[in-house]
Amino acid sequence: MSHDHDHHAPGSAEADERRTFASINPATGDVVGVHPVHDEDDVRAAVARARASAGWWAGLDFAGRRAVLTQWRGVLTRRLAQLCDVVHQETGKPHGDAQLECTLTIDHLAWAGSHAEKVLGRKRVSPGMLLANQAASVEYLPLGVVGVIGPWNYPVFTPMGSIAYALAAGNTVVFKPSELTPGVAHWLADSLREVVPDHDLLQVVTGFGDTGAALCRAGVDKVAFTGSTATGKRVMAACVETLTPVVVEAGGKDALLVDEDADLEAAADAAAWGAFANAGQTCAGVERIYVHEKVHDRFVDLLAARARGVHAGVDVDAKIGPMTMPGQLDVVRRHVADALDRGGRAVVGGAEAVGDRFVQPTVLVDVPEDSAAVTEETFGPTVTVRKVRDMDEAVELTNAGKYGLGSAIFTGGDGEDLARRLRTGMTSINSVISFAGVPSLPFGGVGDSGFGRIHGPDGLREFTYAKSVTRTRFKAPINLTTFDRTPEQETMVATLLLALHGRASQLPKLPRRPLETIRGRRRS
Ligand code: NDP
């Protein structure tokens, strides 16, 4: 269902001369599709088309946009198997995993469409005492055209975390997918075009980094980027030139904490899934595990048993596929080798687990905390496990990392206090990565994991600007913003101010807390 929106007529001399690239099935090496390398002019033309449609889309009311997004959701749901197959071919992930990411995406699309009005619609707010003659209101208006630069690991779920929310907020979108998954992007855009054939709500531009960089410079009103921290910085640098705001979702090094009273079977099951699912190519996947010393050995045994039950391959029993990006194999190989060189031990897998296309599950123990396998994003089916004295040490080690995307806790208690002490944007208690599947929860991180949020109310607001309006309801008894203001009125204002705020310091003092506790709280 290809729908070419190239401004070069297909078959023309110009079209024939264009550069193209192939997307490859990483499990087999087969060519899945061939796509144009869009240059700066192409990208600008796509943004111009998106801009031409932006007024129409923003002008629809929330109900109108919701109706379109609902129809799109229907198309996606009915053709789920087709979409999953494209994902399977371009990423190599098993169909079941492709189905999982598409299922979550459809649920998010439904949430974004149905909550946009409540979150973004006009609300009256109190004008306060000093401007009591004003009616004050705020609403969140679309920015216009949003550029989305997406990754390959979840080529539906991740970019749609921006696309669905940006559309629901009233923007049109130009999407630059990873060079590894352009077919998935086209499939998505084509399916929306079936619902709205006459407007450019979602267009795809394909190519490499240069095409993404061109999108940053093409005059879009915001860029939503998901990928590595290094590329995130380049995206920001490009956006600086035009003061284009950005959302950066830049991966992580998520920790899982296992307390002494945790359900160890459940923890090992979840840890294995969090670390190995999607061959570890999950930004909020589990990459390091800190386990209470009292249960460490038992946990490692349980996790090892789970790891041995999972293998990467193309056979029907393979629960994980290949590494989608061939270059990632070198990263994984380097991290595993470094961990082993520096005294680490592979309980399962190890150096020989890193093959030509596939990496087998690997569990590493006794790995120094300053080695790459603990500090850098590995993005493979490997995990480090470390024994800790208590959960305080686990929190300290977790927070020592430069990333701060997600985290998980397994505990017999409620875990909420522990969760708040972890410097990560999201935490799952007694499960892993659940936060990503709850549409009403914002998704994003701190530190090197980036900033800004997709999903939830914050994810809708991210693609809008706040519009504040005051309307004079009646003439103010004292008008302070006129040159007719008199000294008597200024005295009255001083008296009023005293009545309103002057007694603040006379309020009872807060009970004194030792400085150390206050400092300790801030740090944690
Ligand atoms: P990148 O960050 O390089 O790529 C992400 C997206 O940005 C792709 O669409 C890419 O296009 C595009 N891009 C590349 N260069 C530029 C540029 N200068 N300006 C604008 N856009 C650009 O990630 P990789 O795919 O190379 O993966 C590298 C590492 O990133 C992984 O090993 C993993 O650690 C991490 N990663 C994190 C993800 C997450 O979910 N947060 C997802 C994917 C990767 P193109 O693909 O055509 O180069």
* Selection from 92, 95, 205, 112 nearest residue 160 by Cα: 112
| Cα 345 to Cα 244: distance, rounded to the nearest angstrom | 47
Ligand 1 pocket, mutate which of 160, 216, 228 (most atoms under 8 A from CB): 228
Cα(231) to ligand 1 centroid in Å equals 6
Which residue's C-alpha comes closest to atom 21 of ligand 1? 212
Cα(242) to ligand 1 centroid in Å equals 22
Q: How much is the mean pLDDT over the chain? A: 94
Instruction: Answer left, alpha or beta for residue 382, where phi above 0 means left and psi between -120 and 50 means alpha.
Output: beta
pLDDT at 2: 38
Which residue's C-alpha comes closest to atom 13 of ligand 1? 209
**How many C-beta neighbours within 10 Å does residue 462 have?**
25
Is 216 annotated as catalytic?
A: no
Mean pLDDT of 384-405: 98
**What are the tens digits of pLDDT across the range 2-43?**
334 443 334 344 545 679 999 999 999 999 999 999 999 999
| Cα 469 to Cα 138: distance, rounded to the nearest angstrom | 6
For residue 304, give the H/E element and its range.
helix 296-308
- Whether 442 contacts 450, CB under 8 Å: no
Atom of ligand 1 nearest to the CA of 378: 34
Among residues 179, 249, 287, 462, which one is catalytic? 249
| Cα 302 to Cα 298: distance, rounded to the nearest angstrom | 6
Instruction: Find the length of the chain.
Output: 524
**What are the tens digits of pLDDT across the range 76-103?**
999 999 999 999 999 999 999 999 999 9
pLDDT at 507: 64
Is 352 annotated as catalytic?
A: no
Q: What is the dihedral of CA 440, 441, 442, 446, to 10 degrees?
A: 180
pLDDT-derived band at 437, boundaries 50, 70, 90 = very high
- Whether 414 contacts 429, CB under 8 Å: yes
Cα(227) to ligand 1 centroid in Å equals 4
- Whether 257 contacts 274, CB under 8 Å: no
Atom of ligand 1 nearest to the CA of 284: 40
Ligand 1 pocket, mutate which of 23, 152, 178 (most atoms under 8 A from CB): 178
Percent with pLDDT over 90 in the chain: 89
431 HSE (CA, 13 A, CB side): 8
Cα(483) to ligand 1 centroid in Å equals 57
pLDDT at 7: 39
**What are the tens digits of pLDDT across the range 362-392?**
999 999 999 999 999 999 999 999 999 999 9
Cα(70) to ligand 1 centroid in Å equals 30
| DSSP code of residue 62 | H
**What are the tens digits of pLDDT across the range 130-170?**
899 999 999 999 999 999 999 999 999 999 999 999 999 99
Question: Is the pLDDT assigned to residue 424 strictly greater than 60?
Answer: yes
Atom of ligand 1 nearest to the CA of 229: 2
- Whether 2 contacts 66, CB under 8 Å: no
pTM for the structure as a whole: 0.93
Cα(497) to ligand 1 centroid in Å equals 54
pLDDT at 5: 41
Which residue's C-alpha comes closest to atom 37 of ligand 1? 227
Q: Which residues contact 309 (CB under 8 A, 6 or more apart)?
A: none
Phi, psi of 466 (to 5 degrees): -75, 130
Mean pLDDT of 408-435: 98
**What are the tens digits of pLDDT across the range 470-518?**
999 999 888 889 999 999 999 999 998 888 888 776 666 677 666 555 5
| Cα 329 to Cα 326: distance, rounded to the nearest angstrom | 6
Percent with pLDDT over 70 in the chain: 93
Cα(367) to ligand 1 centroid in Å equals 28
Among residues 84, 102, 239, 283, which one is catalytic? 283
| Cα 432 to Cα 453: distance, rounded to the nearest angstrom | 19
pLDDT at 502: 84
- What lines the ligand 1 site, CB under 6 Å? 149-153, 158, 176, 178-179, 208-209, 212-213, 216, 226-228, 231, 234-235, 249-251, 283, 325, 328, 331, 377, 379
Question: Is the pLDDT assigned to residue 524 strictly greater than 70?
Answer: no
pLDDT at 496: 87
Which residue's C-alpha comes closest to atom 31 of ligand 1? 228
pLDDT at 17: 60
Atom of ligand 1 nearest to the CA of 180: 46
Ligand 1 pocket, mutate which of 231, 233, 282 (most atoms under 8 A from CB): 231
> What are residue 224's DSSP bridge partners?
148, 247
Which residue's C-alpha comes closest to atom 3 of ligand 1? 231
Residue that the structure tokens 């494209």 belong to: 86
Question: Is the pLDDT assigned to residue 520 strictly greater than 70?
Answer: no
Atom of ligand 1 nearest to the CA of 150: 9
